Chains A and B, each alone.
Chain A
Amino acid sequence: MEGTAVRGRLTWQVATVSQLIDETPSVRTIVLQVPDWAGHRAGQHLDVRLTAEDGYSAERSYSIASAPGEPVAITVERLDDGEVSPYLTGELQVGDELELRGPIGGYFVWDADHDRGPLMLLAGGSGIAPLRSILRQREHSGSMVPTRLVYSSRSLPDVIYRGELDRCDGGVEVIYTLTRQQPPGWSGHAGRVDAALLAEATWPASQDPIAFVCGPTSFVETVAEGLVGLGYPARRVKTERFGATGGPGGPDGGT
Chain B
Amino acid sequence: MSPISRGFHGRRRTPAGAEGRVPPGQYVTSDFPVLSAGPTPHTPLEKWTFSITQEGGPSKSWSWTEMRGLSAETVTADIHCVTRWSKLDTEWQAVSLDTLLAQVEHDAEYVMAFSDGGYTTNLPLADVTGGQAWLAFGYDGKPLEPEHGGPARLLVPHLYFWKSAKWVRGLELRDDDEPGFWETYGYHMYGDPWKEQRYAGD
B35 touches A255 (CB 8 A): yes
In the bound complex, CA of A57 to CA of B2 (Å):
9
Residues of A contacting B84 in the complex (Cβ-Cβ under 8 angstroms): 255
Closest Cβ–Cβ distance, residue A150 to chain B (whole Å): 28
Closest Cβ–Cβ distance, residue A120 to chain B (whole Å): 29
Cβ of A156 within 8 Å of any chain B Cβ, yes or no, is no
- List CB contacts (< 8 Å) of A222-255 with chain B: 253-255
Chain B, residue nearest A251 (CB): B34
Closest Cβ–Cβ distance, residue B32 to chain A (whole Å): 10
In the bound complex, CA of A218 to CA of B35 (Å):
19
B83 touches A255 (CB 8 A): yes
Residues of B contacting A98 in the complex (Cβ-Cβ under 8 angstroms): 5
Instruction: Give the bracket for the number of chain B residues in contact with chain A.
Output: 20 to 34
Contact with B along A48-65 (1 / 0, CB 8 A): 011111001110000000
Q: Which one of A12, A53, A81, A255 lies within 8 Å of B4 (CB-CB)? A: A53
Closest Cβ–Cβ distance, residue A248 to chain B (whole Å): 17
Residues of B contacting A14 in the complex (Cβ-Cβ under 8 angstroms): 3
A97 touches B34 (CB 8 A): no
- List CB contacts (< 8 Å) of A86-116 with chain B: 87, 91-93, 96-99
Residues of A contacting B11 in the complex (Cβ-Cβ under 8 angstroms): 83
- List CB contacts (< 8 Å) of A32-60 with chain B: 49-53, 56-58
Q: A56-B10, A56-B27, A255-B85 are in contact. Are A96 and B35 (CB under 8 A)?
A: no
Contact with A along B1-14 (1 / 0, CB 8 A): 01111111111100
Residues of B contacting A91 in the complex (Cβ-Cβ under 8 angstroms): 7-8
In the bound complex, CA of A58 to CA of B9 (Å):
10
User: Which secondary structure dominates where chain B touches chain A?
Assistant: loop
Q: A254-B33, A254-B35, A255-B35 are in contact. Are A52 and B6 (CB under 8 A)?
A: no
Residues of A contacting B35 in the complex (Cβ-Cβ under 8 angstroms): 254-255
In the bound complex, CA of A228 to CA of B10 (Å):
41
In the bound complex, CA of A255 to CA of B161 (Å):
14
Q: A56-B12, A58-B10, A83-B10 are in contact. Are A97 and B5 (CB under 8 A)?
A: yes
A52 touches B33 (CB 8 A): no
Cβ of B81 within 8 Å of any chain A Cβ, yes or no, is yes
Contact with B along A13-29 (1 / 0, CB 8 A): 01000000000000000
- List CB contacts (< 8 Å) of B37-72 with chain A: none
B85 touches A52 (CB 8 A): no
A99 touches B2 (CB 8 A): yes
Q: Which one of A12, A50, A254, A255 lies within 8 Å of B8 (CB-CB)? A: A50
B7 touches A51 (CB 8 A): no
Cβ of B89 within 8 Å of any chain A Cβ, yes or no, is no
Closest Cβ–Cβ distance, residue A82 to chain B (whole Å): 9
Cβ of B31 within 8 Å of any chain A Cβ, yes or no, is yes
B33 touches A51 (CB 8 A): no
Residues of B contacting A58 in the complex (Cβ-Cβ under 8 angstroms): 8, 10
B12 touches A51 (CB 8 A): no
Please give 17 more A-B residue pairs, beta carbons under 8 A apart, in addition to A51-B4, A98-B5.
Answer: A12-B2, A49-B2, A51-B3, A51-B5, A53-B9, A56-B10, A56-B12, A57-B2, A58-B8, A87-B5, A87-B7, A91-B8, A92-B7, A97-B6, A253-B31, A253-B34, A255-B35
Which residues on A are within 8 Å of B, measured CB to CB?
Answer: 12, 14, 49-53, 56-58, 81, 83, 87, 91-93, 96-99, 253-255
The 3 closest A-B pairs by CB, nearest first: A254-B33, A50-B5, A255-B83
Which residues on B are within 8 Å of A, measured CB to CB?
Answer: 2-12, 27, 31, 33-35, 81, 83-85
